[in-house]
Amino acid sequence: MQDPTHALLVIDVQNDFCPGGALAVPAGDLIVPGINALMDDFAAVILTQDWHPAGHASFASQHPGRAPMELTQMPYGPQVLWPDHCVQGTDGARFHPALATDRADLIIRKGTNPAIDSYSAFFENDRTTPTGLEGYLRTRGITTLTLAGLATDFCVNYSAVDAARLGFSVTVRQDLCRAIDLGGSLSAACAGMMRAGVTLA
């Protein structure tokens, strides 16, 4: 019997984060079969989709003289400058073709504000503007979340930490995540998730 209070949150399993994509996460596509199988264990399945307007402020292409993967300062804090990725309506922004998207109860799109990045499924990177996901989960009576997807050290990490801070009980399935690992970002993310009370499984 599926637990109605427990949801699966699948983060950004999109073409641009898989091999061949604009911001490819090594072996990002290998987690798709395991995520599809895991969906059968959950009463609620929620997918997130990174969904940027063209010319998004997180793109290095918008910062003259700067290169992808460099760090800059934004009004809301430090920001990695990314290659153009997950532009609304492009093939790179679509889910991996093998992901079982028909199983989703909800697809939440994030990163749509041209001036603010949004790693977390719950808040933009100003850490205050909500996506609405918290309200959806609470009104469904969901208290426990299992996370999988891309990338472990960015969107999975921010989503897991925010969920724990909001009081949800959170487990990250590390075997069903893959990381970008930029300058030690994976070990920093794991330490931060553990500090926030996230279970790394």
Binding footprint of ligand VGL on the chain (CB under 6 A):
12, 17, 50, 82, 119, 150-151, 154-155
**Smallest gap from residue 141 Cβ to ligand VGL (A):** 27
Please check whether residue 9 is in contact with residue 87, taking contact to mean a CB–CB distance below 8 angstroms.
no
16 is a site residue for Zn ion (CB under 5 A): no
In order, the DSSP letters of 106-172 are EEEEE--STT----SSSB-TTS-SB-SHHHHHHHTT--EEEEEEE-IIIIIHHHHHHHHHTT-EEEE
Q: Which residues are catalytic?
A: 12, 110, 155
Q: Residue 177 forms beta bridges with which residues?
A: 149
Strands 6-11 and 169-178: unpaired
C-beta of 115 vs 139, nearer to ligand VGL: 115
Candidates 16, 29, 50, 162; binder of Zn ion (CB under 5 A) is 50
Residue 16 token pair:
């641009």
| Residue 50 vs 162, nearer CB to ligand VGL | 50
Residue whose CB is less far from ligand VGL, 42 or 82: 82
Q: Which residues bind Zn ion (CB under 5 A)?
A: 50, 111
